[in-house]
Amino acid sequence: MRPWLARLGEPTLQRLNALGEEVGLRTESGRPVRFVPPRRGTSYYEIEVFESGCVPTRAHSPHDLFNALAWLAFPRTKARINAMHAEEIPREGGRRGRKRDLLTLLDEGGVIVVCGDPSLMEMIRGFRWKELFWDNRRRVLHSLRFAVLGHGVLEKALQPWPGVTCKALPVGPESNADAAAAALLAALPADATPHDLPVVPVFGYPGWLPGSDAPSFYEDTRYFRPSGRKIAAGVGQAAAVQHTEESPGSAERDAG
């Protein structure tokens, strides 16, 4: 997102919309994406975005700014997440299902893991964090890249702390990670749940957080747990747009 943040300059809706128009930002319904002030009375955030292209965006909100930047940086993935929400909502009878739990966790706390080394991905899936981030540090820096999609996680990164964890969309070293991530989402089964995607403690990436230059950093089992059942405590904890159901609740975060 850094190139988009650099181009944005003053973080206003006018500037965000100018960048969106420049790249032809659209939802999968074909609507031009526009960042607009929130309106009261709208029940389904994702339906509103899908049908109108209007993304409720609060002025002076880092959370909403990062959401807008995510649309610019990952247009296909964001549009795919939105379209899948819009497809699922009419089937749910007013109660969000597990597939939308997964989509919400990705939207708030997702990371595209670009990796050309299958053995490193196996370490992630096996929660072998010290082996991954310390024992194979050079391989990680050479062959593993995190592109953070989740705007809630980006907000948390303004004040980084051990425990910031993401749901991972693992893709190969393609030239367009955004397109690859969108394709992976499109291939998810109808009964997909948060358990279908691995978790990654992104703060463990070498050099990301002060103190990670010692092996003891990766021995702290409060954060580098051998199981992912509750490691997702750092996912999606930022506030949602008022009068929407954008963010997952605490039970859903733990379910990740």
Average pLDDT over residues 186-201: 94
Amino acid 228: pLDDT: 54
Amino acid 161: pLDDT: 82
Average pLDDT, the chain: 87
* pLDDT tens string 5-44: 999 988 999 999 999 999 999 999 999 999 999 987 667 8
Assess whether pLDDT exceeds 70 at residue 250: no
Report DSSP letters for the chain, one per residue.
-HHHHHHH-S--HHHHHHHHHHHT-B-TTSPBPEEE---TT---HHHHHHHH-EEE--TT-HHHHHHHHHHHHSHHHHHHHHHHHHHHGGGTTTS--HHHHHHHHHHHHEEEEEES-HHHHHHHHTT-HHIIIIITHHHHHHHEEEEE--HHHHHHTTS--TT--EEEEEE-S-S-HHHHHHHHHHT--TT--GGGS-EE-GGGSTTSSTTTTSGGGGG-TTTS-SS-SSGGGGSS-SPPPTTS--S--HHHHHH-
